[in-house]
Amino acid sequence: MTSRTTHSTVAAVALLLAAGTGCSAGGAPAPAAPAPGASSATSAPKPPAAPAGFTLVASGDVLPHDSIIRRAAQDAGGDGYDFAPMLSGVKNVVSRADLAICHMETVYGKAGGPYTGYPAFKSPPEVAAALKATGYDSCSTASNHTLDDGAAGLARTLDALDKAGVRHAGSARTAQEAASPTLLRAGGAKVAQLAYTYDTNGYPLPDGQPWAVNLLDERKVIADARAARAAGADVVVVSVHWGTEWQTAPDERQLSLGRALTASTTGGRPDVDLVIGTHAHVPQAYEKVNGTWVVYGMGDQIAGDMINHEGSFDPRGNQGSIGRFTFAPPKTPGARWRVTKAEFIPQWFDTGRGRVVNLGAADADDARLAATRETIRQVVLSRGADKDGLTMGR
């Protein structure tokens, strides 16, 4: 409220102040009277601005078979390997997200080779630069192929990702690295990425390095999620390499672990905010479990012509999806960040051209692409995710 003061009032106040000053010890000067028209109230501090929300995209296995390596050499024009053209069809989706996560299934060989595909992969390290150029910020590196070339292959892979500026989670070169959660910035949030694999194809963990690869264990995942939260994570994303190959339906292990991880809470707040799965080589369902989104399997993003367990070419091995989730900040301090929009973007790897195709933005009049898109859509929605708001994006 603004005070209105007349000249006579000011004079009276001045006389009273003068009298009071003469009676006080030390004769300290009286404070100045407020100027006419001034407010006596102090301005209240502005409340801090709410943190910004963010979008997160996650995609499936990057699996460079021999044919993929040959294609990258061809795309490089005979000078090394260039994997970026393969991913150019989804660059628009990946690069526009505030945070983009991939799954690097294989390890890298030495510079100059030799490089190998299935069954023991050693991929060109140029893959890392292509992931960065596409817009990926971080990759899960825990898979059944993480130890295909032992501790040396694991270290080369993480070194190459570091050099390219791509963060990683799921494997480690040191105990300290293994104990430190991968923390990423997205919008106004700090996001932790944790990653685990069901197995390493029988390869033992390197001697003296039990921390080299995160093996999938419910208690460890929950403990790590809580540690990440204690380290400042607002959102905890768990990448899991799990499931049964060539099976579109999630297996019982996926279902039970998905329920356990999404049910775990601390102080009433979920410990895990998103679960993204890889490994099955085919698209699998999305489902909201205990209020948290679980992607059971995103399928392969890059892979050669795939042969299933029956020895037959299986086109599903080149089908997949990208998950895109929009997170909003909590309405009250200490509450969880909420997914306000959930989308899947169907994708297909055209092995003939060696290119990833965004089927969400593909020509609707192309009957082949439309049929593949519909196949993926039916699998993704097979557990009723559309009823919880999942939509197909572009």
Which pLDDT does position 43 carry in this prediction?
59
Three-state secondary structure of 168-206: EECECCCHHHHHCCEEEEECCEEEEEEEEECCCCCCCCC
Neighbours of 138 (CB within 10 A): 25
Residue 5 belongs to some domain of the structure: no
Say whether pLDDT at 30 is over 70. no
pLDDT for position 4: 38
Print the domain residue range for 360: 54-392
pLDDT digits (tens, 9 = 90+) for 350-380: 999 999 999 999 876 789 999 999 999 999 9
Inside any domain, residue 13: no
C-alpha pair distances (Å), 377 with each of 67, 104, 322, 374, 385: 28, 24, 12, 5, 11
Total count of domains within the chain? 1
Residue 99 pLDDT greater than 90, yes or no: yes
Let me know if residue 6 belongs to a domain.
Answer: no
The residue with greater pLDDT, 16 or 217, is 217
Q: How confident is the model at residue 341 (pLDDT cuts 50, 70, 90)?
A: very high
pLDDT in tens, 221-237: 999 999 999 999 999 99
Q: Is the pLDDT of residue 9 over 50?
A: no
Q: What percent of the chain has pLDDT over 70?
A: 88
Beta strands 167-169; 138-140: pairing state? parallel
Would residue 116 count as lying in a domain? yes
**Spatial contact of 64 and 106, defined as CB atoms under 8 Å apart:** yes
Can you give the CATH number for the domain in which 267 is found? Answer: 3.60.21.10
17 is a domain residue: no
Q: Considering the domain boundaries, does residue 11 fall inside one?
A: no
Q: What is the model's pLDDT at position 77?
A: 95
| CA-wise closest residue to 168 among 176, 158, 177, 178 | 158
Q: Which helix (H) or strand (E) holds 327?
A: strand 319-328
Tokens at residue 88, please?
Answer: 């150019």
The structure tokens listed for 57 are: 């995209």
pLDDT tens by residue, 147-171: 999 999 999 999 999 999 999 999 9
Q: Give the span between the Cα atoms of 335 and 268, in whole angstroms.
A: 9
Q: Is residue 105 part of a domain?
A: yes
- End-to-end distance of the chain based on CA atoms, in angstroms? 54
317 band by pLDDT with thresholds 50, 70 and 90: very high
Q: What is the Cα–Cα distance from 371 to 248, expressed in whole angstroms?
A: 17
> Does residue 160 fall inside a structural domain?
yes
Range with the poorest average pLDDT among 10-14, 60-64, 275-279, 311-315: 10-14
